Amino acid sequence: MHILQVLNHVIPAVRYGGTERVVWWLGKELDRMGHRVTILAPAGSSCPFGTVLELRPGVGLPSQVPGNVDVVHIHDHRLEAPGIPTLYTFHGNAFAAGSMHQNTVFISADQARRHGGAVYVHNGLDTGEYGRPDWSIPRRELVFLAKAAWKVKNVRDAIYMARKAGMPIAIAGGSRVNFKMGFRFTLDPNARFLGMVGHARKIDILNRGLALLFPVRWHEPFGLALIESLYFGNPVFGTPFGSLPEIVTEEVGFLSTSRSALIEGLGHLDDFDRRRCHEYVCDRFNSKVMAGNYLELYEQVCNGEPVHAVRPSWPDSRESAFLELED
């Protein structure tokens, strides 16, 4: 099968970019399976496993699709390719009322439900890009892995809970002083701010982590940080919002809307088997599983069968977008 992956961001994402990394892993896995992969992306994109074409802004997408493509997979809901078998993956959250194409697939069951859909494919890691965890390395810090400038990621509570639990925390994804989304200056010496980290640095941080603190205050669409952390044996302590209950089972983490309950839970890290956390991700959230699930959907749309019977649609949810925690 010849599959055209379309996204509106440069690929590969060397340092950041969850969507770009997922598209990269998906394309690489499809190539390993013997499928032909072409990527249509902005100028500057490259990849070793497929043909790269430059996405031309302002030019109709159908005219940019090669004639021998079997299916188009679009990762930007603002783009459409009418008249061609097409699958759309929505990677984020929409808060204003709206609807999407019938062939839209989501990245978690919760995200699908909140947007009036039912079909989803969980993201999966290319574990070969992460190497094997080194179980001999001492683990001394909790980890916060997200863009700290985003209030919904809730770095404040992560720092507060780490301090109350008597554990140092490494903040990967932000600085002590932030001006980007409202001024924040964090004095707490218990928190070590590492700035935005690249792939190799992130691997080192996670391989030295005690656990991931992920107290988000929104409905997380998926959360690559969850499975990256679990891969390196870090149980997850977070809030039960969005995709988290699908990904973080009792075997590999603890979820609560209560700050005090999460703080207390951090005192029971020894109850978790780090190697089991690693195996759990390898079994369930790998790129081979993800690619296999997408291939089933490619076949479906190629056969003229829509992914959803009607267009997924949802009401306005802006007033409830920021979620609350309890003390």
What are the pLDDT digits (tens) for 85-105? 999 999 999 989 999 999 999
In the prediction, which pLDDT does 16 show? 58
**Is a pLDDT exceeding 90 seen at residue 171?**
yes
CA distance 274 to 203: 16
Determine the average pLDDT of the residues in 198-219: 96
- Would you say residue 112 has pLDDT above 90? yes
**What pLDDT is stored for residue 216 in this prediction?**
98
Helices first, then strands: H and E counts in the chain: 9, 16
Average pLDDT over the chain, rounded to whole?
Answer: 93
pLDDT confidence band for 177 (50 / 70 / 90)? low
- The predicted structure's pLDDT at residue 173: 86
Position 185 pLDDT exceeds 60: no
CA distance 109 to 254: 19
CA separation (Å) from 138 to 174, 207, 219, 267, 269? 24, 9, 33, 18, 14
Q: How confident is the model at residue 15 (pLDDT cuts 50, 70, 90)?
A: low
Angle of helix 224-231 versus helix 18-32 axis, rounded to 10 = 60
- Kindly tell me if the per-residue pLDDT of 35 is higher than 90: yes
The answer on pLDDT for 293 being more than 90 is: yes
pLDDT exceeds cutoff 90 at 319: no
pLDDT at 52: 96
Q: Residue 180 — pLDDT band, cuts 50, 70, 90? A: low
Whether the pTM exceeds 0.85: the reply is yes
pLDDT at 318: 83
Q: Residue 178 — very low, low, confident or very high, per pLDDT cuts 50/70/90?
A: low
- pLDDT exceeds cutoff 70 at 214: yes
More confident residue, 57 or 262: 262
CB 129 within 8 A of CB 154: no
DSSP string of 78-91, one letter each residue: T---TTS-EEEE--
**pLDDT band (50, 70, 90) for residue 162:** very high
> Residue 14 above 60 pLDDT?
no
DSSP state at residue 128: G
pLDDT of residue 18 exceeding 80: yes
> Which of 8-22, 49-63, 159-173, 292-306 bottoms out in mean pLDDT, i.e. has the lowest?
8-22
Indicate the pLDDT class of residue 188, thresholds 50, 70 and 90: confident
